[in-house]
Amino acid sequence: MEEKGKEKNALNLVKAPEQDPKTAWWTGSRFGMFIHWGLYAIPAQGEWMMYAQKTPVREYEKLAGQFNPIAFDAKAWVKLAKDAGMRYIVITAKHHDGFAMFHSAADPFNIVDAAPFGRDPMLELAEACREEGIVLCFYYSHVIDWHHPHSLHKEHNNTWDYKLEEKRFAEYWEGKVKPQLRELLTGYGRVGLLWFDTAGGLSEEDSKDIVEHVRSLQPDCLMNSRVSHVMGMGDYVSKGDNEIGMSGEDRRPWETPMTLNQSWGYTTRDQIWKTADSLVRKLVNVIGKGGNLLLNVGPTPAGEIPELSAQRLREVGAWTHRNSEAIYGTEGSPFLGELQWGGITARTGRLYLHIFNDKWPKNGLRIFGIRNSVLRAYALADTERRELSFAQEYDEALNLHTLKLDLPPDPTDSYVSVIAIDLVGANDFDRTLTQLPESSFQLDVPLAKVRLVRHADETAGFYALRSAEWTFKLIEPGTYEVFLVSYKRHDQTWGDLYPEPVVLEAAGQCLAVDPREDEADPDSPSCQHPYVPVLSNLGKVTWAEAGIQSLTLISSKLKDPSPRFTEIWHADAVKLRAVRLVRV
């Protein structure tokens, strides 16, 4: 197909920006507690209940009269976060219902003035966090506010109490948002970050205004990317809810906000809980890609973190405390691509291999790309630091450095076992996209050069068509079965999610296939609710020789790699995420 335009791929053509030193505390923390708590805990149907049921403001306000969380204990909450290995707390100071969980002079609809509780839990949390060395951070819904008559969002507005055409956004912005942010940033000591949400419809001018407002009050307070729908705003990237990025997807500091079950606010209806094993694996997957995990709990109306949530966090904490040096202050893996067996973190002079216990390699492990001489290797859980045997090889023809590592016969820790590798000299790694020494090798879309092939013409029924080209080092020539990796929304049927065949070109061969929903991918490390992973068999490709190879995929489901506006994670019915090669 003729190429009519080109789009830069950030990974391949743009140099990664230098990290802002003020984000160093946050990236070094790696693990935080998210807390969704408010009036919505009383009906126990989730934090969007008011909008979902079109509850009138006057009816919703009655919940404030019932809100008396006398079991709230700030010290107990902070201790639980610390026991879990979390280094910071982000709590909903105001969610979309407009109710302030702090004492606000800007609006009497708050926990001190409108509820019988009569105390400011944010003040108590601030004190408890200072005592324990935990950084306190606030969530603030700056655009959506169903209680205020002049809040105006692109989509989710209170139109059952207020007329859309009568809304005057400036009155809300200047009369509530900015004054309440001033209160939060001047009345509670140091605020590590402000976690904004759902900025749809916010102008670029107002986006810059709120960033400048925060900077003027606490210059070192971080802001997440959801402060605006304009790309590049904020100090770091907040992925979509429960979204774990693909390898190489984010060049800026990033986080995954995730729930312990499938809800954010307290609810009795959702009892689908993640196990401790699952949570540790997800933590490893996130930090192994250089991100942070912000794990949510939803306290009860009485002010208690549900015991099952607390139990899960304590179980995870037992693991994080044993393996702290492999978590905090580390960088993500220096190697590209998803690992089948776990994840890698790194610090100067040392690598940490986080191996999932159910993927424990009985015949040892091979790692490609370590140019350093290895000094020693050992299991982090082994207090005696008994050394593991290893060998290093170099293939000059392929310019391939291989570490062969012998492992103990069984895993050395619960859930995920960590092997430390001490290196000689400054870290020196081959960062070429290289086939992994495993049964399958995945080419993630962010690791490709993405170009525009055909512009969209909606009147003619044409979608924008793009190509993704991967260049990689093939270690084992032969025939490979090729699978398309897609994430499908759980509430969608496959149908016509791919409107045209995908075209794959590699090794002089060309495949044009209508992707089918052939099989699920139960071990997908990155796919989370509300998506399910789907594998589509595209056929077979044969490479006759090892060495540098290329593969190109063409589809309308490939995204613009440099959009102006942030994508809503759960907006698409299907997401094209990768191509997987499985050696036959």
pLDDT the model gives residue 460: 67
The structure's pTM equals 0.94
pLDDT higher than 80, residue 19: no
Band the pLDDT of 189: cuts 50, 70, 90. Answer: very high
Domain residue spans of the chain = 40-242, 331-423, 440-583
Pairing state of beta strands 547-555 and 400-405? unpaired
Q: Find out whether 256 and 263 touch, Cβ atoms under 8 Å.
A: no
The 342-347 sheet, strands edge to edge = 331-332, 342-347, 350-356, 416-423, 374-379
Mean per-residue pLDDT of the chain: 93
Give, in words, the CATH class of 440-583.
mainly beta
Whether the predicted pLDDT of 9 surpasses 70: no
Q: What digits encode the pLDDT tens for the residues 225-251?
A: 999 999 989 999 999 999 998 998 988
Amino acid in the structure at residue 175: G
**Does the 331-423 domain belong in CATH 1.10.10.1100?**
no
Residue 347 bridge partners (DSSP): 350
Is 440-583 in the same CATH topology as 40-242? no
pLDDT in tens, 170-183: 999 999 999 999 99
Task: Measure the CA–CA gap between 511 and 562, rounded to whole angstroms.
Answer: 28
pLDDT of res. 5? 39
Instruction: Report how far residue 515's alpha carbon sits from residue 493's, in angstroms, rounded to the nearest whole number.
Output: 13
**CATH fold label, 40-242:** TIM Barrel (3.20.20)
The pLDDT score that the predictor gives to residue 160 is 98
Close Cβ partners of 451 (under 8 Å, ≥ 6 residues apart): 3, 5, 6, 7, 466, 467, 469
In this structure, what DSSP letter does residue 278 have?
H
- How many helices (H) and strands (E) the chain has is answered by 11, 26
pLDDT band at 275 (very low <50, low <70, confident <90, very high): very high
Distant-in-sequence, close-in-space partners of 191: CB < 8 Å, separation ≥ 6:
136, 137, 138, 184, 185, 218, 221
